[in-house]
C-alpha cells in the first residue's frame, strides 16, 4: 500500500500554514492541508463580529519572516489579518496544498505501513507519513447551556458565526459574555442598538489600549527599511513579555508585577466610571493574570450610557421573548449575542479522535493520565505526529511566538531524522516524563498556583484543575529549547532497518 502524502496538516490557520511553510523549506512538497471551513485563515476567517481586531500589536502578531509594513493600525482590524493570511499563502505557494470544506473526523496510526490514515467526512480516507494537528485552541464555539435558550423566538448570533445580513439598528439586544470578544463587541453594538443588556458572569481586567493608525509615511519607511519594523516588533514583543508573561510566570519572585497590572486597571476603571456600584461590578475578584486580560478604550465608558445595562445576577433561563435572572428580573429582547467563547479542553484536546501506537487514544490518555506533551508538540506512542495545539504549547502572548518556536522544533527534528537516514520519530517516555515534571515544577511559581484564581473561570486551567495550557517559560527559553532539545529525546526508525 503506497502512502499518498508526505504530510497531512489539519487546519489552514496560521499554525497549519507555518507548519506547511516549514515542511516546504525542508523539501517536502507532497502536502495536504485540510480545513473544515471554506477558506484559509482559521480564527481570522471564522470571526467577523463588529469590533474585531488583534489585541497584540500587529508588528508582533505576524510571522517574523514575513513582516507586513502596511498594517493600518497598531492593533490591526480583523479583516487585515485575513488578508495577511491570504498573502502569506500566496507568497509561500501553499494554497495549492489546501482542501476546504473538508472535516477531518479521526486519524489512526497504521503500524504495518508506518503511516497515518486520516478519515474525512463524506470522502475516502487519506494516508500520510506525517500528521500535523493545527486545529487551534479557540476553534470550537461554546454555546451556553442555559435553560430554555432554544425556545428563544428572536435572533441568536454567536460571535464566531456573525450574520452580516442582520441589522442591529434600533434593536433590543443582550450580550452574554465579557471575555476579550465581549470587550471588543459590546462598545460597537451599543452604538447602534436601542437597548443593550450585558450579562456578566465574571468581570475581566481591562487596561488602556494605546492604539493609533499608522501614518502612511511610517508604512513606507517600514517597507523601505524592514529593519525599522523589526526593531518595532522586538520592542513590542519585549514589552508584552515583561508586562504579561514575566509577572504571570514568576509570580512567586515578582508578585509586584501583577499588583501593578491590577493597579493600572483599577485606576483606569476609576477614571472612566464614576458610579461606585457600577465600578464594583466591573472589578474582578481574582488575581490579574489568572485569566487573559485585555485592552480597550471604550469598554468601560459604554456601561455609563443610559441605554446600556450591566446585569450581574446569574441567568435563570431564556424564554421565547427574553432573559430572566435568578433574581427574577426579566428583559425582553430582539437579539441575543453570544460572546461565550470556546470549548477548549472538552472538545479540542484533541479536536479529532487520534489513535496512536498500540491503540492509544490521545483524548482518553490525556484524561485518564495528565494533560501533557513533550515541548508542547509530541506525545509518546504517537509516531510521526506533531500536535501544535497541545498542553504546554502556548508560549508568550502572541500566538506567532508559539508557531515560530514550533517551526524551529520541526526543523531540528526532521533535519536530525533525515541525517540519520530515518523516516519515523517518536518521543521517548523518559523525555516526556522529564518535560512534564519540569513544567509542573515551574507552574508552582506562577500566578496560577499562587494567585487567587478560583473565581476566574479561566480556560488556562484544564478539567483536572491544572494550568496546562501555557508553557511556563519565557519565550526565549521556548525558542532555545526548540533549537537545542536533545535529539535522543526522540527514537528514530529507519527504512533500511526494517
Residues lying near ligand NAP in the complex (CB under 6 A) are found at 53-55, 138, 144, 146, 176-182, 184, 199, 201-202, 292, 315, 339-341, 457, 459
Instruction: Kindly state the smallest distance separating residue 377's Cβ from ligand NAP, in Å.
Output: 20
Query: In whole angstroms, how close is the CB of 5 to ligand NAP at the nearest point?
Result: 31
Note whether 106 and 119 are within 8 A (CB). Answer: yes
- Give the nearest distance from C-beta 315 to ligand NAP in angstroms: 6
Looking at beta carbons only, is 198 or 377 nearer to ligand NAP? Answer: 198
User: Please, which residue, 5 or 459, has the CB nearer to ligand NAP?
Assistant: 459
Please report where in the chains the cell 508604512 appears, as a residue.
219
Q: ∠184-188-192 over CA atoms, to 5°?
A: 160
3-state secondary structure labels for all residues of the chain:
CCCCEEEEEECCCHHHHHHHHHHHHCCCCCEEEECCCCCCCCHHHHCCCCCCECCCCCCCCCCCCCCCCCCCECCCEHHHHHHHHHHHHHHCCCHHHEECCCCEEEEEEECCCCEEEEEECCCCCEEEEEEEECCCCCCCECCCCCCCHHHCCCEEEEHHHCCCCCCCCCCEEEEECCCHHHHHHHHHHHHHCCEEEEECCCCCCEECCCCCECCHHHHHHHHHCHHHHHHHHHHHHHHHHHHHHHHHHCCCCCHHHHHHHHHHHHHHHHHHCCCHHHHHHHCCCCCCCCCCCEECCCHHHHCCCCCEEEECCCEEEECCCEEEECCCCEEECCEEEECCCECCHHHHCCCCEEECHHHCEHHHHHHHCCCCCECCCECCCCCCEEECCCCCCECCCCHHHHHHHHHHHHHHHHHHHHHCCCCEEEECHHHHHHHHHHHHHHHCCCHHHHCCCCCCCCCCECCCCCECCECCCCHHHHHHHHHHCCHHHEEEECHHHC
In this chain, which residue has its C-beta nearest to ligand NAP?
Answer: 179
Q: Identify which of residues 50 and 179 has a Cβ nearer to ligand NAP in the complex.
A: 179
- Smallest gap from residue 3 Cβ to ligand NAP (A): 36
Quick one: 315 or 431, whose CB is closer to ligand NAP?
Answer: 315
Least Å distance between CB 398 and ligand NAP?
A: 9
Residue closer to ligand NAP by CB (options 180, 436) is 180
CB of 308 to ligand NAP, least distance (A): 17
Name which of 295 and 425 has its Cβ closer to ligand NAP: 295
Nearer to ligand NAP, 146 or 282 (CB): 146
Q: Which is nearer to ligand NAP, 25 or 309 (CB)?
A: 309
Q: Distance between CA atoms of 452 and 440, rounded to whole angstroms? A: 18
Tell me how far, at minimum, the Cβ of 116 lies from ligand NAP, in Å.
30
Residue 339 vs 355, nearer CB to ligand NAP: 339
In the complex with ligand NAP, which residue's Cβ is closer, 25 or 201? 201
Least CB distance to ligand NAP at residue 130 (A): 29
Cis before 487 (ω within 30): no
Report the nearest approach of ligand NAP to the CB of residue 344 (Å).
8
Using H for helix, E for strand and C for coil, what is the string for 382-428? Answer: CCCEEECCCCCCECCCCHHHHHHHHHHHHHHHHHHHHHCCCCEEEEC
Which lies closer to ligand NAP via its Cβ, residue 181 or residue 372?
Answer: 181
Residue 465 C-beta: closest distance to ligand NAP, Å: 15
Min dist CB 336 to ligand NAP, Å, is 12
State the cell numbers at 476. Answer: 526565549
Which of residues 34 and 54 has its CB atom nearest to ligand NAP in the complex?
Answer: 54
User: Residue 314: how many CB atoms within 10 A of its CB?
Assistant: 11
Beta carbons of 280 and 270 less than 8 angstroms apart: no
Q: Least separation, in Å, of the C-beta of 90 and ligand NAP?
A: 24
d(CA 346, CA 350): 9
What is the smallest separation between the CB atom of 363 and ligand NAP, expressed in angstroms? 21
Do strands 172-176 and 294-295 pair parallel, antiparallel, or not at all (unpaired)? unpaired
Pick 181 or 473: Cβ nearer ligand NAP: 181
Amino acid at each position: 500500500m503506497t502512502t499518498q502524502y508526505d504530510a497531512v496538516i489539519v487546519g489552514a490557520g496560521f499554525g497549519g500554514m507555518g507548519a506547511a511553510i516549514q515542511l516546504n523549506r525542508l523539501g517536502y512538497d507532497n502536502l495536504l492541508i485540510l480545513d473544515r471551513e471554506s477558506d484559509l485563515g482559521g480564527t481570522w476567517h471564522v470571526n467577523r463580529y463588529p469590533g474585531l481586531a488583534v489585541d497584540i500589536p500587529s508588528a508582533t502578531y505576524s510571522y517574523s519572516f514575513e513582516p507586513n509594513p502596511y498594517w493600518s493600525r497598531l492593533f490591526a482590524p480583523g479583516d487585515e489579518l485575513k488578508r495577511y493570511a491570504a498573502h502569506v499563502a500566496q507568497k509561500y505557494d501553499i494554497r495549492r496544498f489546501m482542501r476546504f470544506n473538508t472535516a477531518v473526523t479521526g486519524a489512526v496510526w497504521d503500524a504495518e505501513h508506518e503511516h497515518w490514515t486520516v478519515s474525512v467526512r463524506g470522502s475516502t480516507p487519506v494516508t500520510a507519513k506525517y500528521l500535523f494537528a493545527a486545529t487551534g485552541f479557540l476553534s470550537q464555539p461554546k454555546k451556553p447551556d442555559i435553560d430554555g435558550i432554544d425556545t428563544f423566538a428572536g435572533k441568536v448570533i454567536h460571535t464566531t458565526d456573525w450574520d452580516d445580513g442582520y441589522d442591529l439598528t434600533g434593536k433590543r439586544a443582550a450580550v452574554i459574555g465579557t471575555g476579550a470578544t465581549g470587550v471588543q463587541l459590546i462598545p460597537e453594538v451599543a452604538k447602534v442598538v436601542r437597548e443593550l443588556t450585558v450579562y456578566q458572569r465574571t468581570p475581566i481586567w481591562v487596561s488602556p489600549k494605546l492604539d493609533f493608525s499608522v501614518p502612511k509615511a511610517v508604512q513606507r519607511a517600514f517597507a523601505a527599511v524592514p529593519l525599522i519594523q523589526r526593531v518595532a516588533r522586538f520592542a513590542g514583543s519585549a514589552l508584552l513579555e515583561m508586562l504579561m508573561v514575566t509577572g504571570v510566570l514568576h509570580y512567586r519572585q515578582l508578585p509586584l508585577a501583577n499588583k501593578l497590572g491590577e493597579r493600572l486597571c483599577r485606576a483606569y476603571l476609576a477614571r472612566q466610571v464614576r458610579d461606585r456600584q457600577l465600578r464594583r461590578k466591573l472589578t474582578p475578584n481574582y488575581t490579574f493574570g489568572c485569566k487573559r486580560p485585555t485592552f480597550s478604550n471604550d469598554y468601560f465608558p459604554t456601561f455609563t450610557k443610559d441605554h446600556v445595562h450591566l446585569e450581574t445576577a446569574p441567568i435563570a433561563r431564556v424564554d421565547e421573548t427574553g432573559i430572566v435572572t435568578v433574581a427574577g428580573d426579566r428583559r425582553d429582547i430582539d437579539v441575543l449575542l453570544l460572546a461565550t467563547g470556546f470549548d477548549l479542553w472538552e472538545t479540542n484536546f484533541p479536536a479529532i479522535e487520534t489513535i496512536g501506537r498500540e491503540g492509544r487514544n490521545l483524548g482518553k490518555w490525556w484524561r485518564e493520565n495528565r494533560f501533557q506533551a513533550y515541548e508542547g508538540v509530541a506525545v509518546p506512542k504517537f509516531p510521526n505526529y506533531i500536535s501544535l495545539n497541545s498542553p504546554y504549547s502556548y508560549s508568550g502572548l502572541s500566538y506567532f511566538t508559539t508557531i515560530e518556536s514550533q517551526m524551529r522544533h520541526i526543523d531540528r527534528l526532521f533535519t536530525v531524522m533525515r541525517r540519520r537516514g530515518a523516516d519515523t520519530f517518536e518521543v521517548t517516555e523518559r523525555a516526556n516524563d522529564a518535560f512534564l515534571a519540569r513544567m509542573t515544577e515551574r507552574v508552582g511559581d506562577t500566578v496560577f498556583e499562587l494567585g487567587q484564581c478560583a473565581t476566574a473561570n479561566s480556560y488556562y486551567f484544564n478539567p483536572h484543575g491544572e494550568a496546562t495550557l501555557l508553557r511556563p517559560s519565557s519565550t526565549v527559553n521556548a525558542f532555545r529549547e526548540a533549537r537545542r532539545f536533545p535529539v535522543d529525546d526522540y527514537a528514530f526508525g529507519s527504512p533500511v532497518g526494517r
